[in-house]
Amino acid sequence: MSFAFAQNNKAKELVSKMTLEEKANLVVGMGMNIPGLTQNNTGPVIGQTMDKVPGAAGTTYAISRLGLPNTVVADGPAGLRIEPFRNKDSSKSYYATAWPVATLLASTWDTKLVKQVGNAMGNEVKEYGVDVILGPGLNIHRNPLGGRNFEYYSEDPVVTGKMTAAIVNGIQSNGVGTSIKHFAGNEQETNRNTVNTLVSERTFREIYLKGFEIGVKESNPWTVMSSYNYINGKYASESYDLLTTILRKEWGFKGIVMTDWFGGKDPVGQMKAGNDLLMPGTPQQTKAIIDAVKDGKLDVKVLDENAERMVKYIFRSQAYKNYKFSNAPDLKAHAAIARTAAAEGMVLLKNEHAALPFSKNLKTIATFGNTSYDIISGGTGSGDVNEAYTISLVQGLTNAGYTLDNEVKKSYDAYLDDYKIKHPKKGFFQEFMNPTPPATEFIIDNNLLSKKAGESDIALITIGRNAGEGKDRKVENDFNLSEVEKTLIKNVADAFHSKNKKVVVVLNIGGVIETASWRDNADAIVLAWQPGLEAGNAIADILSGKVNPSGKLATTFPGKYDDVPSAKSFPGIEFPEKATAGMFGMKQIPGEVTYDEGIYVGYRYYNSFNVKPAYEFGYGMSYTDFKFSNLTLNSKSLDKTITATVTITNTGKVAGKEVAQLYITAPSAKLDKPSMELKAFGKTNLLQPGQSQQLTFTISAEDLASFDTDATSWIADAGTYTVKVGSSSASIKQTASFSLAKEVVTQKCIKALAPEVPVIELKRAF
Ligand code: BGC
């Protein structure tokens, strides 16, 4: 008898011994400690606590008489989110590593490294007694204003899926679980609990579900978190099509599905859909489930299946194994990995007049911009981590041996200290509801600036952005730089350029901003993203040249907001006249968003419609140069797979790494197709000057297939396919082609999630 079979039997047997109340308790979490909202389900079981790990987002119910313990789930994608102190005892801390945000990790294009990050992150989960971390987040960067984009990887589903698989495999190698989220169609925060995402079947499957599909198939996450929104009229957490037909029947998902916190409306509908766990859980939900079984509205067989899956999940947990966690992970070793990962994902956007790396003779740096002093390690909300420290940029530069102009530093310190006294940070929920705005950029007096330009060797300006759960960003003073920020850049550039000194801009941002209007003022631009707790050290590694930048954009920087294909449809329309009272005293306004750009998200749009972005998908510079050569396919026609190899040579003067991106242009056929789509990617090792490496990619018919809605099937068309390998989506270095003799139906699917009224989508005009 196989292990899985034995576990199934054991789970069935345990569920058969449970009372109806026990089953209902098992599928509803134990609540959450929010003042005024606390719902503790504590039932007849002695010793149950929802505070097993303080600061965790939720706990599942224990049934001790059957040997089932409580399990603990905690946020979130950028590291383990728990309370750093317990019971006001300051002698022992429970800090976790704030890792670089997901968008930065994707920009490494290095799945081995991301797996290593996952491995270390998972170790903290295990050693702090948590069973599941609520991440990674893998919604798509549909629009730069998405408030949680920093928690997500990319605008591209293949990058998203591969990064997900890497991090999940890393985390779960520790014997703890992940929850890939938010499944699905949750690309905005505006009206997130009420918004109805209207999307075509093809677009949903090809763009928004694909990353989840790759993640499920390549890494078997223990859990999936259903999202808050409706999809084509049905709540994600109540959608049988989504959670059972697609996720389980088509993709073979074996774990549990949990709701997002307080997500959905109908506990019985959620059970029927295959949403096994309602989080954080309320007594009303438990009661509704019990009543529904008693009234015959919920077949107990359905509840039994949900409960069996819960039991199997508990069997896997460290809580069940009674693991004696240490509460002492090796944070120092993890910080070193965080620093490496951070530097690997930073993207050099511009570098003129050899502004970077800093010359060996460089001594004094004049450092401008509030976030040089007060760097942002990661975004806000549940994706925030309680880390022990964050290395600011000024600290990182000092650690690297540079001297910072003290007069400039002192002016900033005084300005920011004063701001903090006047705007003290509030508690988590108060900040969530009403975030303290960041200090306006400090404008330094022009006379002082001119003096500093004479005295220092170079100017560094950091521009910062923060965002997070609950709110989307806006165009003015967020996507676009504020007038004060533009003035700061201009004034510093004028002063320093007039003295023949260079200006470097560092972007400490979690999401895309406008760059085209001000970039001429900068000699170099380093996109540092939100790099986690070792932020300043990692940025200094790039600026000094200790690390040669090798990050590439996994999301496009458009020329202007209006160029974004979803600019007009994001974040949709709302119906204030239908508003109802929601949680935390908030109004719930029904909303609707139509994904009318269809499959033309990100570079699929910019390339196909010839709209030139500021920095294209896949773009990123290095301090050295690379040559791509010898693109070779192992066959002229695809049978099962095609293998492509390409040679990459470092032709410059310093060691570096290059990312090779493999795009495919499909033959024109019945369906509209983007001009090219990413199908595979790889990164070289550190290549010394003159050194070469061959990278190999494998392409199968599945990779070529598009979703044909009429046939409800994934189909790879017959014809000639062009393989394009390059260093970015606009810099193709080598091409080759192969043919597919006959159309291949790679998968016949079940009709699911069809919109009630067809979604009118953007199409290419031929
Ligand atoms: C977020 C989730 C998070 C959960 C638990 C929700 O508000 O959307 O991403 O995991 O809270 O904190």
Residue 441 has pLDDT above 90, yes or no: yes
CB distance 675 to 665 below 8 Å: yes
| Ligand 1 neighbourhood includes 226 CB (under 6 angstroms) | no
- Rounded to the nearest whole angstrom, what is the distance from the C-alpha of residue 261 to the centroid of ligand 1? 6
Quote the ligand 1 centre to 216 CA distance (angstroms): 20
Residues facing 461 on adjacent strands: 368, 505
Pairwise pLDDT comparison (6 vs 206), residue with the higher score = 206
DSSP 458-478: EEEEEEE---BTTB---IIII
Quick check: 525 pLDDT over 70? yes
Asked if residue 279 has its Cβ within 6 Å of ligand 1, the reply is no
- Centre of ligand 1 to C-alpha 598, Å, is 27
Is pLDDT at 149 greater than 60 in this prediction? Answer: yes
The 10s digit of each residue's pLDDT in 330-365 is: 999 999 999 999 999 999 999 998 899 999 999 899
Percent of the chain with pLDDT over 90: 91
Are 685 and 730 in contact, with CB atoms under 8 Å apart? no
Q: Of all protein residues, whose CA lies closest to atom 5 belonging to ligand 1?
A: 57
Give the tens place of pLDDT for each residue, 78-131: 999 999 999 889 999 999 999 999 999 999 999 999 999 999 999 999 999 999
Exposure on the CB side of residue 268, measured as CA atoms within 13 A: 14
**What is residue 36's predicted lDDT score, i.e. its pLDDT?**
47
Which residue among 32, 224, 227, 382 has the greatest number of ligand 1 atoms within 8 angstroms of its CB, and so is best to mutate?
382
- pLDDT exceeds 50 at position 227: yes
Pocket test for ligand 1, best of 469, 471, 583, 586 (most atoms within 8 A of CB): 469
Confidence of residue 44 (pLDDT cuts 50, 70, 90): very low
Residue written as token pair 């293949």? 158
Q: What's the confidence (pLDDT) of residue 425?
A: 81
The pLDDT value recorded for residue 1 is 66
Q: Which residues belong to the active site? A: 260
Of all protein residues, whose CA lies closest to atom 8 belonging to ligand 1? 260
Mean pLDDT, range 750-761, rounded to an integer: 96
Residue 585: per-residue pLDDT: 72
Mean pLDDT of 231-245: 98
Q: Which residues contact 97 (CB under 8 A, 6 or more apart)?
A: 79, 80, 120, 121, 124, 331, 334, 335, 338, 385, 387, 532, 533
User: Is residue 647 over pLDDT 70?
Assistant: yes
**Would you call 47 helix, strand, or coil by DSSP?**
coil
Helices and strands, counts by H and E, the chain: 21, 29
Q: Comparing 694 with 581, which gets the higher pLDDT?
A: 694
Q: Whose CA is nearest to atom 11 of ligand 1?
A: 261
Q: What is the DSSP letter of 438?
A: P
Give the SS3 label for residue 122: helix
**Counting atoms of ligand 1 from 1, which one is nearest the CA of 192?**
8
Mutate to test the pocket of ligand 1, among 134, 151, 471 (most ligand atoms within 8 A of CB): 134
Residue 591 has pLDDT above 80, yes or no: yes
Q: Is residue 763 pLDDT above 50, yes or no?
A: yes
Look up residue 263 and give its two tokens: 């997500």
- CB within 8 A of 194, min separation 6: which ones? 229, 230, 588, 589, 590, 591
Does ligand 1 lie within 6 Å of residue 260's CB atom? yes
Q: How far is the CA of 37 from the centre of ligand 1 (A)?
A: 16
Average pLDDT over residues 166-181: 98
The CA–CA distances, whole Å, from 173 to 59, 150, 318, 333 equal 22, 25, 12, 18
Query: Average pLDDT, stretch 147-172?
Result: 98
Calculate what percentage of the chain has a pLDDT beyond 70. Answer: 98
Rounded-to-integer distance, Cα 140 and Cα 149, Å: 8
Give yes or no for residue 708 CB within 6 A of ligand 1: no
Cα of 179 from ligand 1 centre, angstroms = 11
645 C-alpha to center of ligand 1: Å?
42
Q: Whose CA is nearest to atom 3 of ligand 1?
A: 382
For ligand 1, say whether the CB of 395 is within 6 Å of any of its atoms. Answer: no
Asked if 595 contacts 197 with a C-beta cutoff of 8 angstroms, the reply is yes
Instruction: Pick the closest to residue 626 from 762, 727, 742 (CA basis).
Output: 727
* Residue nearest (by alpha carbon) to ligand 1 atom 7: 261
| Minimal-distance CA residue to ligand 1 atom 9 | 382
Q: Residue 731 CB: number of other CB atoms within 10 A?
A: 12
pLDDT tier, 205 (very low <50, low <70, confident <90, very high otherwise)? very high
Decide if 407 contacts 456 (C-beta within 8 A).
Answer: no
pLDDT range class, residue 587, cuts 50, 70, 90: confident
The number of residues making up the chain comes to 766
User: For residue 32, what pLDDT is reported?
Assistant: 82
Q: What is the pLDDT of residues 284-334, one digit of tens each?
A: 999 999 999 999 999 999 999 999 999 999 999 999 999 999 999 999 999
Note the pLDDT of residue 113.
Answer: 98
> Alpha-carbon distance 206 to 81, whole Å?
32
pLDDT for position 47: 55
For 17-35, what is the mean pLDDT? Answer: 90
Q: What distances in angstroms separate CA 340 from CA 539, 542, 571, one per listed residue?
A: 10, 11, 36
Nearest residue by C-alpha to atom 2 in ligand 1? 260
Q: Residue 257 corresponds to which amino acid?
A: V
Q: Is residue 382 lining ligand 1, measured as CB closer than 6 Å?
A: yes
261 lines ligand 1 (CB under 6 A): yes
Beta strands in 515-583 (DSSP E): 524-527, 573-574, 580-581
Q: Look at residues 604, 616, 590 and name the one whose alpha carbon lies nearest to residue 665.
A: 604
Ligand 1 atom nearest 179 alpha carbon = 10
Where in 148-204 does DSSP place strands (E)? 177-183, 195-198
Confidence category of residue 34, pLDDT binned at 50, 70, 90: low
Give the pLDDT of residue 670: 86
Average pLDDT, the chain: 95
Asked if the model's pLDDT at residue 43 lies above 80, the reply is no
Span 530-534, mean pLDDT?
98
Task: Please give the Cα distance from 665 to 735 (Å, whole number).
Answer: 10
Give the H/E segment covering residue 631.
Answer: strand 626-633
Using pLDDT thresholds of 50, 70 and 90, give the confidence band for residue 4. confident
d(CA 217, CA 206): 15
How many whole angstroms from 182 Cα to the centroid of ligand 1?
9
Residue 433 reports pLDDT greater than 80: no
Alpha carbon nearest to ligand 1 atom 4, residue? 261
- Quote the ligand 1 centre to 34 CA distance (angstroms): 14
Confidence of residue 766 (pLDDT cuts 50, 70, 90): low
CA of 583 to the centre of ligand 1 (A): 14
pTM, full prediction: 0.97
Burial 640-662 (b: 16+ CB within 10 A, else e): eebebebbbbbebeeebbbbbbb
